[in-house]
Amino acid sequence: MFEKWIYRIVIVLFLTQVLVPFVGLVQFSIQGAGTTPTLSSFQQLIVNPLFSGSLLNSLFLALCTVILSIGIFTPPVWHAYLYAPKVLRVIEAVSFVPFVVPAVVLALAYVQFFSSGLLNLVGTPYLLPFAFALLGMPFYVQVLLNRLRHTDALSLHEAAQSLGATGVYAFMKIQLPLLRSGMINGGLLIFTISIGEFTITQLTTGGSYNTLPLYLMIAFTNNPLEGSAMAVLTLVLAVMGVVAALFFASDKRRRVKGERA
Amino acid sequence: MIYGPLFLFISLFALIPVANVIANSMWARGLTFNFYGQSFSSQYLNAFITTLKVAFWSGLIGLIGGAVVALSLWRSKSTWVTTVISAMSGVLANFAGLPLAVAFMVTFGVSGLVTNALQKFFHFNLSQTGFNLSSSVGLILVYCAFQIPLAVLVLLPAYSSLSEDLEAAALSLGCNVLEYFRRVLIPVLAPSFLGTFSLLFANAFSAYVTAYAIAGGSVNLIPIQIGYLINGNVSLNVGLGNALAVEEMVVLSLSLSLFVLSLRMRKKRRQRVKGGAINV
Amino acid sequence: MLTVEHLEKRFRDHVAVRDFSIRLEPGEFIALLGPSGSGKTTVLRMIAGLLTPSAGTVYIGERNVTNVRPKDRQIGVVFQSYALFPHLTAGENIAFALRLRRVKKNEIRDRVNELLGLMQLPHREHYYPAQMSGGERQRVALARALAFRPPLLLLDEPLSALDAKVRDSLRELLKDVQRQTGVTTLMVTHDQEEALSLADRVIVMQTGEIEQTGTPKEVYHSPATAFVSTFIGVSSAIFVTRADDGIHDVQWCGYSFHYPLHANQRRELAAGGTKLYVRPEAIRLLAHPVTNTEPQGVVVFSMFLGNSTRVRVRMTDDTLLTVDVPSGKLEYTEGDQIYIQIDDPRS
Ligand SMILES: Nc1ncnc2c1ncn2[C@@H]1O[C@H](COP(=O)(O)OP(=O)(O)O)[C@@H](O)[C@H]1O
Ligand SMILES: [Mg+2]
């Protein structure tokens, strides 16, 4: 049918628009300006100690951020959801701060506020996990809340308490397993955000701490071939992250079905 | 108390530093609006206008493109194509940033894929036409690469929330498909379109990485100017940076209000009268 | 007015509707009755042109419209979900089809007011659908479908989303409106009471096929198949042969009586015997036999229902009969020995 064909053409155009830069990137990373394809840019990258150093730094930072986020955000969101809907509204509103305060402004604020006295942290990487956690907060809170709403945590909790479980026991045995998938999905989002963060890292550390995006920028400026190889690797990582999240999501659905059967 | 760490975190890493910025934007040994005055002088006023322009056009193109693509996905009813494109859009909209900028630079660069292809198949020399990625137009082009996917992600659920009976009703009353789009689908989804636009606008207005990587110094944008002030590329004037930051936050708050307004409109239409509130 | 011939719809290898043929005379009100999933909506959508049939033809008058777009069929459709346009007020919803047809402004206004009056909605013109109750929305949907004076009206479960009280009053309104406008109407429903009370003719459907077509009285009193007898009301199945007294229609356990028979049943009777589905109110209980031919049984169960008492009787040949005894008559309790008579529901 005529209408169907228009939709197909639109979808193909969209795919072209999306894929052209990436095909261009991959092609450039293996061919450069020359004519013979080679993987040498990838080889160079892998043996480069600066690259592996920045990779380790990024992974470490991301891990710290994930732990920090799970620790700071999970208990209050859970508790407010069950017992204090008004506080929950405040938490939700506050979690949207990054939408009004973009990364550049946050960096400017940090550079001034953390530049003296006890909290003289500008130029060090110690601020970064907190900053990344703040940037990821809206996503993490929403994922967790979706999970809580989806499973009707409230009635489960009340049922457990009516059966005589104490608050702590009910939390450990019933709520924690229930929150686990929310924590994994939210954590994955935080991880991906942390791995890719550039603005605050560059502006608050002044380049003293090398992370993947920072090194990508430097590498691309010095040697576009190496930079584009690295961009390819970063994108592959991001795609893997999203596929993993999708996998977790589908796994969850299967388990729910099993429970009902 | 269980909320202690969270509110300490929020205060220390968001509220107090930001309040400090606002205070410092109008305080230098006494109340002053000099910094705001400077921020509306030629160079910074230009930056403001350029940023608005880039955010507006990339938001509008992103909205229209995303609306058309999401509509096509929704109407073609293929679940697996939708899943694949949603996953792709998720990567592009949220995590691409710097790699995306790099991809555009090499693809449109001197020996990039697009440049070569245009030369080879159309004997068209891209660089001779004066086209340059590091210009407002180039930046809008690159922004669209994440704005359109973001719009697709946001609008897909809006389309699927439309009842199929609505279309059936319109057709039986005498619409053809285009009239259905114009008279029913677009007005019904107008709040969603408005919300999506405000999201895209805010997204582009605060974008830093892509602009920094692609345009660097050659396009005058507010986030880039703030970054320069922090890095000390410009004779350090923290007060001016603060004023620019406050202005940026004001614009973002306005677009967030627009978003909240669109949510309200959506809710109002869906609202159901329960019990006998407005019964006969 | 509407003729449908051998309509069929397949979804992949699943047949939703097969060999569906009907004919509606002008001004007729027909109900398509069947359980959920029996293919009623599918039939309706094919007639409206919203779904392409796998086979078969649809005529409106003499015109073959099988491949005509919905907009050119001029059929009013009312959906179960109302499908009102949420961005338009009640008045604008009703005016929608007229605006599309570029009717003059003052004519539109008159028509909208006329319909609002007819639907008893005078003060709702400027309300949005979200501000109205379910019953009001359904009336707006009906007015919207009638606004352009379509010769044919299709209703998909128009009352089933409403609560009982509103449903009753809307049922009367619907009947009134249909009579006043004289629009030929095909209504889909799974509610037998709705079908029997509103329609001139009822089509009973199951798993995509027509089981029986007839007036409400016909399908109620002489269901053609076991499915129809159980889907519409309650009945007891008994196996009857041709009465040998030459007066009555049928005979059961030596007892002859009159009962309306369906054509199929008459054919089967000629060939030996047939199953008869007897309604509970057609059976009368007697403490003593009148003619000495009445079959005998024992009351095994009784339940008070308000205006009647439902009694279950086990006959000597082990057949179970369900009987409704009007309240105020003689009461029976479990274990009572009784005799039964079967009345002709036509008399
Ligand atoms: N779009 C569709 N795709 C596949 N199967 C369908 C579709 N629409 C209806 N069916 C199937 O056709 C049968 C009849 O459906 P329907 O006409 O909606 O029944 P009713 O209206 O009587 O409840 C059902 O078994 C249903 O599952
Ligand atoms: Mg149905």
Q: Which residue of A has its CA nearest to B149?
A: A18
CB–CB contact A217 B92 (8 Å): no
Torsion of CA A91, A96, A98, A101, to 10 degrees: -100
One-character DSSP codes across A10-54? HHHHHHHHHHHHHHHHHHHHHHTTSSS---HHHHHHHH-HHHHHH
Residue among C15, C32, C42 whose CB has most ligand 1 atoms within 8 A, to mutate? C42
Instruction: Identify the residue among B173, B183, B192, B266 best suited for mutation to test binding to C, counting C beta carbons within 10 A and taking the highest.
Output: B173
Could you list the beta-strand ranges (E) of chain C: 2-11, 14-24, 29-33, 55-60, 63-64, 75-78, 152-156, 184-189, 201-206, 209-214, 236-242, 250-252, 255-257, 273-278, 283-286, 296-304, 308-315, 320-326, 337-342
Q: Residue A33 has what pLDDT?
A: 62
Give nearest CA residue, ligand 1 atom 2.
C11
Report yes or no: A187 and B86 within 8 Å, Cβ to Cβ: no
pTM: 0.86
Distance CA C52, CA C17 (A): 12
Give the DSSP letter of residue C320.
E
Interface of A with B in 38-67 (CB under 8 A): none
> Which residues does chain C have within 8 Å of residue B187's beta carbon, measured at their own beta carbons?
87
**Chains A and B: how many Cβ contacts under 8 Å?**
223
At the topology level, CATH places domain A52-209 in: MetI-like fold (1.10.3720)
> Which residues does chain B have within 8 Å of residue C100's beta carbon, measured at their own beta carbons?
173-175, 179, 183
Residue B234 banded pLDDT, cuts 50, 70, 90 = low
Q: Residue A60 has what pLDDT?
A: 93
Tokens 């991301």 found at: A62
**In chain B, pLDDT over 70 holds for what percent of residues?**
94
List CB contacts of C165: < 8 A, sequence separation 6 or more: none
3-state secondary structure of C124: coil
Find the helix packing angle between A2-31 and B97-107, rounded to 10°. 80
- Low-confidence residues in chain C, pLDDT < 70: 329
Q: Which residue of B has its CA nearest to C89?
A: B269
The ligand 1 atom at the shortest distance from the C-alpha of residue C38 is 22
Chains A, B in contact, 3 or more Cβ pairs below 8 Å: yes
Q: Output the CA A4–ligand 1 centroid distance in Å.
A: 23
Give nearest CA residue, ligand 1 atom 8.
C42
Lowest mean pLDDT among A34-38, B12-16, B168-172: A34-38
Per-residue pLDDT averaged across B151-155, rounded?
A: 91
CB–CB contact C76 B172 (8 Å): yes
Which residue, C180, C160, C58, is CA-closest to C119? C180
Would the pLDDT of B148 be above 90?
yes
Residue A152 banded pLDDT, cuts 50, 70, 90 = confident
Report yes or no: C54 and C42 within 8 Å, Cβ to Cβ: no
For residue C30, give the amino acid letter: I
**In chain A, pLDDT over 90 holds for what percent of residues?**
28
For residue B99, give how far its alpha carbon lies from the nearest alpha carbon of chain A (Å). 5
List the domain boundaries for chain A.
Answer: 52-209
Is C16 near ligand 1, meaning CB less than 6 Å away? Answer: yes
Q: Output the CA C14–ligand 1 centroid distance in Å.
A: 9
> pLDDT tens digits, residue range A52-93?
899 899 999 999 999 999 999 998 998 898 888 899 999 999
List CB contacts of C318: < 8 A, sequence separation 6 or more: none
Q: Output the CA C51–ligand 2 centroid distance in Å.
A: 14
> pLDDT tens digits, residue range B89-125?
888 877 678 898 999 988 887 777 887 788 878 877 7
> Which residues does chain B have within 8 Å of residue C119's beta carbon, measured at their own beta carbons?
none
Average pLDDT, chain B: 86
The H-or-E segment that residue B121 falls in is: helix B113-122
Give nearest CA residue, ligand 1 atom 14.
C39
The pair of three-digit structure tokens given for residue C84, joined into one six-digit string: 């009102």
Find the helix packing angle between B238-270 and B16-25, rounded to 10°. 120
Distance CA A32, CA C337 (A): 103
Q: Which domains does chain B have, with CATH numbers?
A: 34-274 (1.10.3720.10)
